[in-house]
Amino acid sequence: MLWCGVVAGPLFVVAFLAQGAVRDHYDWLRHPVSSLALEEWGWIQTANFIVAGVLSLALAVGMRRVLKASPQRRGSLWGPILVGAWGVMLICAGVFTTDPVSGYPLGTPDLLAEYTSVHAALHDLLTLPGFVALPVASVVFAVRFARLRELGQAVWSGLAAAGFVVAQVLATTAFAQNAALVAYGGLFQRLAVTIGWAWLTLLALRLLLAERRSGVRVP
């Protein structure tokens, strides 16, 4: 299950980068990752969301089992719950397709006055908690690592949380058509998502090492 967390991030990032590079009229600097789920080949990004979500849920279960068996149990409950919330968010992002934004697909307005469907409204409503849960999980583990006197891991987790939040706020502002940022909304979102996945991937690797040292087997 921990290996699911190791592969989920790289798989997700490579998939959306490859799609953004070949999709007609799609500007990866400007447009959000969720917009890749629109148009003819949108099923690829839909599958990417769902697979990454399922892998993240498996990681959350594996994390819970390893951390519960650890002598230092701080974060053993809320850490996995928050990572699980991130996984649920990804699945919801795949199931409920977003509305067009920033002029993609070609011919659509930069910003819609209202949602065009319940699906689009649910996409925004159900993905917001996941974008909150992941940086909070980073803070939870920063505290855990600080208690264990693993200062490098603690600092990295704290910086990942801060970087994710800053980049995501910039992305959200850009997608709201802020004139100074709109051209780089996709870049900011990709930066946030990549930071989040990098932190989660390294955490899964760190827990794998701890699992092997402790002898706790995670089925």
Q: What is the pLDDT of residues 109-126, one digit of tens each?
A: 999 989 999 999 999 999
What's the CA gap between 30 and 44, in Å, rounded? Answer: 20
CB neighbour list of residue 187: distance below 8 Å, 6 or more residues apart: 28, 29
The mean per-residue pLDDT over the stretch 185-204 comes to 97
Q: Which of 3, 18, 5, 7 is nearest to 190 (CA)?
A: 18
User: Is residue 96 helix, strand or coil?
Assistant: coil
Q: What is the pLDDT of residues 48-70, one digit of tens each?
A: 999 999 999 999 999 998 888 77
Q: How many CB atoms lie within 10 A of CB 157?
A: 25
Q: What is the pLDDT of residues 123-155, one digit of tens each?
A: 999 999 999 999 999 999 999 999 989 999 999
Banded pLDDT at 214 (limits 50, 70, 90): low
Residue 218 has pLDDT above 50, yes or no: no
Provide the whole-model pTM. Answer: 0.91
pLDDT, averaged across the chain: 92
